[in-house]
């Protein structure tokens, strides 16, 4: 598996991923357009979950290309990419279970969000954040869950409205799992660590 890391750390791959994530982030914000129009201003930063996750990762990639680490963005990126990557895959599979159908857009969302989660974890050896960065990320992430499931600013899947309490419960534990995964990959002793070679 370690053979992949020289490729991941190459300038060409970082540029390619930056282009892909930029396109995905723009598409994601467009996808949320109609919900954002109806969202009170105070909640706006917490509504577009997946595009904000990929936006965090864009900053990580830009830092890598500059030969730097921006630790808070790294912590935010790994946690939110894993969380919302898995969340979107599960929600679209739940739509399939309820309706018995998966349209091309749903298949695209499953693939793209699965890739989000994978890329967030794959770059873990290059991250340099500390525990306090992860604590701040935990506050952001769990606060986002409160905004979504107490104030009902969650992504709109009308067909799943009957399952909102169960989805909220699942999302809370997915947040905990994502934070734990970030700790395991980045902060534990003797973890696998690499430097970006610019």
Cα–Cα distance for residue pair 93/99, rounded to 1 Å: 10
Domain-located, residue 10: yes
CB 114, CB 107: distance < 8 Å = no
Q: How confident is the model at residue 3 (pLDDT cuts 50, 70, 90)?
A: confident
Domain-located, residue 194: no
| Average pLDDT for 96-120 | 94
Domain-located, residue 193: no
Q: Which tens digits make up the pLDDT trace of 160-184?
A: 999 999 999 999 999 999 999 999 9
Cα–Cα distance for residue pair 21/177, rounded to 1 Å: 23
Q: In a 10 Å sphere around its CB, with 0-12 CB exposed, 13-18 middle and 19+ buried, how is residue 67 labelled?
A: exposed
Q: Which tens digits make up the pLDDT trace of 73-88?
A: 999 999 999 999 999 9
Domain-located, residue 195: no
In the numeric block, which tokens belong to residue 29?
Answer: 């914000």
Domain-located, residue 196: no
| Count of other CB atoms within 10 angstroms of residue 172 | 16
Residue whose structure tokens are 């306090």: 132
Domain-located, residue 192: no
Q: How many domains does the chain have?
A: 1
Cα–Cα distance for residue pair 127/123, rounded to 1 Å: 7
Domain-located, residue 67: yes
Domain coverage including residue 44: 3-187
Angle at 44 between CA 42 and CA 47, to 5 degrees: 130
């Amino acid at each position: 598996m370690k053979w992949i890391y020289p490729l991941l750390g190459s300038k060409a791959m970082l540029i390619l991923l930056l282009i892909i994530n930029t396109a995905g982030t723009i598409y994601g914000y467009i996808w949320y357009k109609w919900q954002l129009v109806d969202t009170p201003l105070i909640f706006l930063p917490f509504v577009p979950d997946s595009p904000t996750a990929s936006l965090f990762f864009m900053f990580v990639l830009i830092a890598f290309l500059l030969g730097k680490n921006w630790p808070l963005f790294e912590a935010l990126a790994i946690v939110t990419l894993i969380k919302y990557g898995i969340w979107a895959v599960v929600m679209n599979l739940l739509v399939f279970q309820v309706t018995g159908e998966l349209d091309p857009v749903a298949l695209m969302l499953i693939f793209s969000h699965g890739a989000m989660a994978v890329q967030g974890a794959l770059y873990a050896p290059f991250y340099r954040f500390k525990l306090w960065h992860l604590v701040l990320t935990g506050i952001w992430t769990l606060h986002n869950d409160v905004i979504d499931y107490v104030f009902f600013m969650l992504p709109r899947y009308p067909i799943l409205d009957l399952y909102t309490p169960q989805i909220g419960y699942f999302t809370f534990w997915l947040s905990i799992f994502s934070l734990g995964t970030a700790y395991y990959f980045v902060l534990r002793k003797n973890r696998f660590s690499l430097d970006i070679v610019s």
